[in-house]
Amino acid sequence: MACFERVSPALREILTRIHRAERPLEVDHHVHEFGSVHYHVKHSVTDPVYTYLSVSTPLLSSQGLPISSHLPQHTLEMVNGIFPGVMEALVPPNEGYQLTLKLDISRIPRDGKASTKMISDIASVQSALVSTQLKEILRNVESREVGYGIYKPIKLMYHPREPFFVVKQPAKTTAIFPMRFKEKEDVIIATAFFQELMDVGSSEAFRKAPHCIWSPIPPAELRGEPIEDLSTNGGFLSFDITLRHVQGKKLEKTVWSLLNVYTFVKWHVKPLHDVGNEEGDDHRETRKKTKKVDGGCTNVRKWMRVSKKKILGRNLELGNKMKRIRSRIKIHCFSRLRRKWLRMPKFSPVTRYMKLE
Amino acid sequence: MANSLRLYLTCIRNTLEAALCLQNFPCQEVERHNKPEVELKTSPELLLNPVLICRNEAEKCLIETSINSLRISLKVKQADELENILTKKFLRFLSMRAEAFQVLRRKPVQGYDISFLITNYHCEDMQKQKLIEFIVQFMEDIDKEISELKLSVNTRGRLVATEFLKQFI
């Protein structure tokens, strides 16, 4: 499952710890991320040179293309080519995983920047796998023209509930994301967000970005698709990817962004829906950049400050009243009478008893 | 301030000044109980005619008075569905902290967004003019707060969209 950070923070931390340890460590960690990605890191004291990293990630499935649980050969070659000598993909991988890497941590340089970069690249192996799959599909699949100017869409799925479509045309590739939300409030917030996205996309500053369109009804490219794929409550978001967006290093960024569309939308919608809850670390940047709006509470605080004083005063008054009610009524000379006639007998606590014979 | 809003608030202020003449009145049904009669509505002789002040179809204010209590219910302007959600959430936030406000009702009256309940005890503890001033100020500020919230939602959406599209450049 894709997310913003290409690098897995937990995996990076574990590998950094193993790399910086003065003595060999016994490490056997299982890390689960995003519900479907699973890492297994193993480093043994008996074999201190090598660390074994196994990765299990949901593989991309699509209609019309063979689905395999094993990674294709070119993907393994790509992984081996990232850091030859440091990272090697084992064939076959460990049971239950798609990829097992043998890492020679000792070959990672000891100095700060280079080692951090290398460890980060190793910890982003899952995102590299996922991006490579999509790139291969986009590269190998030919555009399927079914009519004059009409091309058949390819349905891709990472998560069963979040499929998206890719329509390959000669001049461009269109990625279409059907949006579905569980709650009506999410739909309303997301609709406002999509309007903003279209506005920003059509501005001068972003004329080089892919053309972005949102429509509440299925676009023409999806004509003929099954009704269950076209029934949504959040509309359809489309991006037109041209040659400019897939040249050189931009291909990686474009593919990664397409994989993260649903996550970006949820990133905006969910915190607004849960107003009042603590926001997670992902929203730190937005919080820094957004002008501090007190969330409508500027006047609320003013109103509450005025009332709080009165509440405290009232509580104090109530307390004094209750004390007065509880205290005994004082009658003149009653105390002497009470001492003489109303003396309560003293009961000594039973500490011993006599045994009856 | 828009002319229509000023007239609307002036009308509400005048009505409140006339209606906020409350006195202590023990409950006629149950001994040694003292309840706000506007909530119970069991004795019609203790209730005054409710006054409905409408600014337009979307904004209105209902003032119900009785011998010992007064209930003010407000319907706030909501131009679109996003404002609808923001208003609901914001007023729910306030209603959950009704104790701090003292005069705020925890649940609004059916058909309205927020309700206040003022009793004779509040009138004894607080100044009548200040209470009226508070209600009127609240109505002025609530529109501003909702507009600010909507602006912040759109600003955040714009920022997220900018961050997303930057990756393609």
Tokens, residue A130: 């996922």
- Within 60-99 of B, beta carbons closer than 8 Å to A belong to 81-82, 84-85, 89-90, 93-94, 97, 99
Residues on chain A touching B151 (C-beta within 8 angstroms): 293
Backbone angles phi, psi at A303, to 5 degrees: -65, -40
Least confident segment among A139-148, A164-173, A179-188, A272-281 = A272-281
A284 and chain B in contact, CB less than 8 A? no
DSSP A49: T
Nearest residue on chain A to B90, alpha-carbon basis? A296
Q: Cis bond leading into A92, ω under 30°?
A: yes
A139 vs A10: which has the higher pLDDT: A10
Which residue from B64, B42, B44 is spatially nearest to B53, judged by alpha carbons?
B64
∠ CA A33-A35-A40, rounded to 5°: 45
DSSP A288: H
Residues on chain A touching B93 (C-beta within 8 angstroms): 275-276, 296, 300
What mean pLDDT is predicted for residues A51-79? Answer: 73
Nearest residue on chain B to A269, alpha-carbon basis? B157
Average pLDDT of each block of 10 consecutive residues along chain B (169 residues)? 85 94 92 93 92 93 95 92 92 91 93 95 92 92 91 90 86
Partner residue facing B159 (CB), from A188, A289, A307: A289
What mean pLDDT is predicted for residues A61-80? Answer: 68
Q: Which ipTM was obtained for this model? A: 0.80
What Å distances lie between residue A205 and A162, A208, A331, B70, B154, CA to CA? 30, 8, 89, 56, 19
B80 HSE (CA, 13 A, CB side): 7
Q: CA A219, CA A8: separation in Å to the nearest integer?
A: 36
Partner residue facing B82 (CB), from A192, A276, A304: A192
What pLDDT score was predicted for residue A207? 87
Tell me the range of A84-93, A184-193, A246-255 where mean pLDDT is highest: A184-193
Q: Taking the alpha carbons of A293, A182, A278, B143 in that order, is the dihedral positive or negative?
A: positive
Q: Which of A181, A198, A203, A206 to mutate to test the interface with B (most CBs of B within 10 A)?
A: A206
| Residues B66 and B19 sit within 8 Å (Cβ to Cβ) | no
A290 and chain B in contact, CB less than 8 A? yes
What pLDDT score was predicted for residue A3? 54
Residues on chain A touching B164 (C-beta within 8 angstroms): 197, 257, 261, 264
Beta strands per DSSP E along chain A = 27-33, 37-43, 50-56, 61-62, 87-90, 99-104, 145-147, 150-151, 154-159, 162-168, 173-178, 211-215, 236-241
What pLDDT score was predicted for residue A27? 87
Using the predicted structure, report yes or no on whether residue A284 has a pLDDT greater than 90: no
| Residues A60 and A68 sit within 8 Å (Cβ to Cβ) | no
Tokens, residue A184: 């009506």
Residues on chain B touching A286 (C-beta within 8 angstroms): 156, 159-160, 163
What mean pLDDT is predicted for residues A79-87? Answer: 83
Nearest residue on chain B to A190, alpha-carbon basis? B157
| Residues B161, A192: C-beta atoms closer than 8 Å | no
- Within 91-150 of B, beta carbons closer than 8 Å to A belong to 93-94, 97, 99-102, 125-126, 134, 138, 141, 145-146, 148-149
- For all residues of chain A together, what is the average pLDDT? 75
In tens, the pLDDT along B71-98 reads 999 999 888 899 999 999 999 999 999 9
- pLDDT category at A1 given cuts 50, 70, 90 is very low
| Residues A311, B85: C-beta atoms closer than 8 Å | no
In tens, the pLDDT along A164-189 reads 888 888 788 889 999 988 888 899 99
Å from A99 to nearest chain B CA? 28
Which residue from A12, A9, A25 is spatially nearest to A53, judged by alpha carbons?
A12
| Residues A311, B102: C-beta atoms closer than 8 Å | yes
Residue A30: beta bridge partners?
Answer: A40
Å from A47 to nearest chain B CA? 42
- Within 237-266 of A, beta carbons closer than 8 Å to B belong to 245, 250, 253-254, 256-257, 261, 264
- The three-class DSSP label of residue A133 is helix
- pLDDT category at A291 given cuts 50, 70, 90 is very low
Alpha helices, DSSP H, located in A38-81: 73-80
Partner residue facing B102 (CB), from A185, A189, A310: A310
| Residues A245, B168: C-beta atoms closer than 8 Å | yes
Å from A251 to nearest chain B CA? 9
pTM for this model (two decimals): 0.70
| Residues B125, A212: C-beta atoms closer than 8 Å | no
pLDDT > 90 in chain A, percent = 9
Å from A136 to nearest chain B CA? 19
pLDDT > 70 in chain A, percent = 67
In tens, the pLDDT along A202-232 reads 988 888 888 899 999 998 888 888 888 888 8
CA dihedral B33, B34, B40, B43 (to 10 degrees): 90
Partner residue facing B160 (CB), from A267, A275, A308: A267
Alpha helices, DSSP H, located in A147-236: 184-201, 227-230
Using the predicted structure, report yes or no on whether residue A254 has a pLDDT greater than 50: yes
Residues on chain A touching B148 (C-beta within 8 angstroms): 293, 296
- pLDDT category at A277 given cuts 50, 70, 90 is very low
A91 and chain B in contact, CB less than 8 A? no
Tokens, residue A240: 């037109």
